[in-house]
Amino acid sequence: MSRTSAKAVRLVAISGCVFLCAAALSQARAQRRDRAKPKAEVNTPVVDSKADEALRRMTDYLRNAENFRLKSTMDWRPKKGNASKIEKSRYTIAFVRPNRLALVQKGGDVGMTLVHDGERMFAHIPHRESYAIEEGSKTIEDVSEVLAMGAQVTNMRGLDFVRALLQEDPYEALMEDVTKLEHVGTQRIDGKKNDHIRLTRADDAWDLWIAKGKKPVVTRFETKLSRDDTRVGDVNPFPNRAEAKIRVAFTDWKIDRRIRDKVFRIKLPKKTQSVSTVLGLAQAYPPHPIVGKKAPKLKLDLYGDDAGKLILSKLKGSNIVVLDFWATWCGPCIMALPDLIEVTDKFKDQGVVFFGVNQREGKETIKAFLDTHEDFDFTIAFDLEGSAGSKYEVNGIPQTVIIDKRGIVQAVHRGYSPDMKEMLTEELETLLAGESLVD
């Protein structure tokens, strides 16, 4: 996998997770309400006594702590076919009971800071040049949902585990829905003995390494990101997503040591825009650099026998062109396509044309995709080497580009949004009325 395509895989996963944040938080709140209700039937997990002892030592140790602080490094190992590329992210976490939390990502492709100072919640995503501040919460459960957002937005599944440690009863939180708790063995990490335990659920498993001795903290966490890992209810926006392995190393644990107030101090970043809600950061992007400029030239083969070529210059003067950069493995792309097809088809008699510019996939892949998506009727262009994506500065997909009849890029949309249909309809109506979207 090339560096560009690997980055696209990573960014599409991240952008898709961003748009699932609201659903994820709603699920978390619903699950908390469900836990408060009496359960008619509870399946007793198979529990190994040695593993149970190690887990309880760790959770009791942290539960009795007034605060803790740590550093961590996550390896994200996405796999597509036989290709695998390791991506690393570094972050720090500080927590002071009852409700102060700071998550700061120090390195990686998508940096993020999440802070709850006890009264307000602050989120800042530097690469989107945006931040948000909301009213905070007094409960540990609600504050830990800040961490859930971090896990969703950055795809750092290790944060799901840390989130469990913030609960009033971390042992109960970790054991929720566990069907089997086993002791895998004893292993040395950085020269110190650790208990390796595994918590198995119906759809995943968490491997934890817990230090032996007087300071029983977690030193390592591992899990796999499956094809159905981002399923929300009956919806899976990533049907063709490859598996990934997540490994998180936890270091520099500091328990019940003074944490300075400045760690939780909210500092408004310069040269950034403010959005009204944390979830609103999902839609916040800095202006795309090609907006307002002449559309780069394109000459691409089209899918189908004797389908010809997409030659952008031949459409200038008579057509408004909508390009959507996509791939069959991209969940958000598949979610966006029906809206794009419907809206552009509505205006086709007025000169609007739509091309799905497929990224780096061949005819056989497209044929297999269309065989299972018979209702997808649109014109597909091949960008086999990614050259068109480079010209249009595509760093993550889907990316939708609107080009007016003069050949000027009027709008660029990155990622999938539930209001895509309404937004695209309004933009096309504006352009058809002879107006411009560019200030």
Per-residue pLDDT of the chain (439 residues; tens, 9 = 90+): 443 444 443 444 444 443 434 334 444 444 444 545 555 455 799 999 999 999 999 999 999 999 999 998 888 776 554 344 566 778 899 999 999 999 887 876 556 788 899 999 888 877 667 788 888 888 877 777 766 665 655 555 667 788 888 888 999 999 999 999 999 999 999 999 999 999 999 888 999 999 999 999 999 999 986 544 433 333 333 344 446 788 899 999 999 999 999 999 988 877 777 776 666 665 666 678 899 999 999 999 999 988 899 999 999 999 999 999 999 988 788 989 999 999 999 999 999 999 999 999 999 999 999 999 999 999 999 999 999 999 999 877 899 999 999 999 999 988 887 788 999 999 999 999 999 998 7
The C-alpha atoms of residue 317 and residue 76 are separated, in whole angstroms, by 46
Q: Output phi, psi for 278, to 5 deg.
A: -60, -40
Torsion of CA 427, 431, 432, 435, to 10 degrees: 130
Handedness of CA 326, 331, 332, 336 (dihedral sign): positive
Predicted local distance difference test score (pLDDT) of residue 5: 41
Whole-angstrom CA distances from 34 to 230, 293, 317, 396 are: 21, 53, 59, 37
Residues 6+ apart with CB under 8 A from 261: none
| Strand pairing report for 113-116 and 100-107 | antiparallel
DSSP letter (8 states) at residue 415: S
Domains assigned to the chain: 3-283 (2.50.20.10), 299-432 (3.40.30.10)
Predicted local distance difference test score (pLDDT) of residue 348: 96
Q: Which two tokens stand for residue 54?
A: 């190690």
| Strand pairing report for 205-211 and 244-255 | unpaired
Q: How many CB atoms lie within 10 A of CB 68?
A: 22
Predicted local distance difference test score (pLDDT) of residue 9: 39
Cβ distance 208 to 185 under 8 Å? no
Predicted local distance difference test score (pLDDT) of residue 10: 40
Whole-angstrom CA distances from 83 to 3, 86, 156, 383, 398 are: 11, 10, 21, 20, 22
- Using alpha carbons, select from 51, 343, 88, 311 the residue that is nearest to residue 175: 51
The C-alpha atoms of residue 102 and residue 120 are separated, in whole angstroms, by 12
Predicted local distance difference test score (pLDDT) of residue 32: 47
Whole-angstrom CA distances from 195 to 23, 50, 53, 183 are: 35, 9, 10, 7
Q: Which amino acid is at 137?
A: S
Numbers of helices and strands, H then E, in the chain? 10, 21
